[in-house]
Amino acid sequence: MIRILGALLLAAVSLRPAVATPDPADTHEQTLGNGLKVIVREDHRAPVVVTQVWYKVGSSYEPGGLTGASHVLEHMMFKGTERLAPNEFSRIIAENGGEENAFTGTDYTAYFQTLAADRLEVSFRLEADRMRNLRLDGAEFAKEIEVVKEERRLRTDDNPKALLYEQFNAVAYLAHPYRNPVIGWEDDLDTLTVDDLKTWYARWYQPANATVVVVGDVEPQKVFALARRHFGGLSGDPVPPPKRQMEPPQRGQRRLELKAPAEVPYLLMGYHVPSATADAEAWEPYALEVLAGVLDGGNSARLARELQRGQEVAASVGAGYRAFQRAPGLFLLEGTPARGHTVEELEKALLEQIGTLAREPVSAEELERVKAQVVAADVFQRDSVFYQAMRIGLLETIGGGWRVGEDYVRRIRAVTAEQVQQVVLRYLGEDKLTVGVLRPQPGALPPRRPAVIPGGRHDIGG
């Protein structure tokens, strides 16, 4: 999902030269009396509507000991309200021909339904209900927390790269809660209670802390009327924003190693950098986006050209940056060494790439390529009503508002080669770097599979 989101955000924002521009006039917003914001974008290509409800809460809102609470609460949002039995929400959406799910990140918790356009009211009725009337039953919690623990095993504990990434964040961030894993530390999940969730729900699930985004074959005024009918009567309290938590400046490189049952080593490197909504000169996040494109914007970009093909020091390699989050983030480099090369050689080769970028401005050709890709991707993403809603919801939720997105392509196009060099010099210094290495444990994995054993339903074991 994050990968998609990354592409979305790179793609996200608009400005079109030759081709038709999405008209910002097609996007409308209204704030209800209780503080709930409703944003509607018309897209009449198919008789379909997507509804997303975004709450300003996620893992970076969580204090120590409560990591994972936002995500577990997301699971419990399907487990019944004063009116609905557990899973009845999902059953109603399914019977109306809909698709639905939810996702949690560092800065948000969001819920969505996709339906035929004439069924919009179904999702409004259900989302309004669970915004204020969630039941949070102890027996349901006891089962669901086990589901979440299985999710953690699947995504993180049994996945060496994900495990490295989890610990990497906790080293790269000393104080800022971006160090928290979204799914929560294992022991925090063990001690989490349904009462913790009741408190969390009461604090954050308020109309004034939510944004409803609707994109599809709808008329905005009718959507607003429907929103007033279903959400307008919800009572709520003002929600004070979370306390500011600043990461102290990094004063020297940090390193970590993770031993895991793996076959292949893996390298993760990250530099602290500003985000689009943080307190930085406005062009910097856009220069960092261009930098990520210069390094990893396709198979002709520098990392593939120099490290995968040229030196052939990497079997796979990548760079990543997310401009749109509520606090400063990381510029990431990651890769798997090619056969016959070590993770140390790969690290050295990546640092040489950063060194080159610090010494020499990127070429006009590279800059044009990245900009052409951003312009095209901005059109491509309009093929999906879901991603259009994602972009609006995310930008509203992290602060700054959806209009920031409308300006994205223009700001990318304004980036110069000198600015790319400047962000490298300013932020990608060795004292600002965290390096994580996955060290495979030799012999931890069993030999290749044995032959097939016939045996009906009987468990042969092995």
Residues tagged active-site: 74
In a 13 Å sphere around the CA of 368, the CA atoms on its Cβ side amount to 3
Question: Judged by CB, which is closer to another protein: 5, or 32?
Answer: 5
Q: CB–CB of 318/335 below 8 Å?
A: yes
Residue 313: Cβ-neighbour burial (10 angstroms; 0-12, 13-18, 19+): buried
What's the min distance (Å) between Cβ of 87 and another protein? 6
Q: Say how far apart CA 254 and CA 273 lie, in whole Å.
A: 16
105: number of Cβ within 10 Å: 20
Question: Judged by CB, which is closer to another protein: 257, or 281?
Answer: 257
Q: Say how far apart CA 167 and CA 436 lie, in whole Å.
A: 8
What's the min distance (Å) between Cβ of 211 and another protein? 17
Question: In sequence order, which residues have a C-beta less than 8 Å from that of residue 353 and are 6 or more positions away?
Answer: 295, 302, 303, 306, 307
Question: Judged by CB, which is closer to another protein: 77, or 226?
Answer: 77
| AA letter at 153 | R
What's the min distance (Å) between Cβ of 112 and another protein? 10
Q: Say how far apart CA 26 and CA 113 lie, in whole Å.
A: 21
Question: Judged by CB, which is closer to another protein: 89, or 224?
Answer: 89
Q: Say how far apart CA 53 and CA 69 lie, in whole Å.
A: 18
Residues paired with 280 in a beta bridge: none
Question: Judged by CB, which is closer to another protein: 379, or 417?
Answer: 379
What's the min distance (Å) between Cβ of 78 and another protein? 7
Please give the DSSP secondary-structure letter assigned to residue 240.
P
372: number of Cβ within 10 Å: 12
Largest separation between any pair of C-alpha atoms in the chain: 68
Question: Judged by CB, which is closer to another protein: 240, or 446?
Answer: 446
- Tokens 């030269």 sit on residue: 17
What's the min distance (Å) between Cβ of 72 and another protein? 10
What's the min distance (Å) between Cβ of 376 and another protein? 3
Intra-chain end-to-end CA distance of the chain, in Å: 36
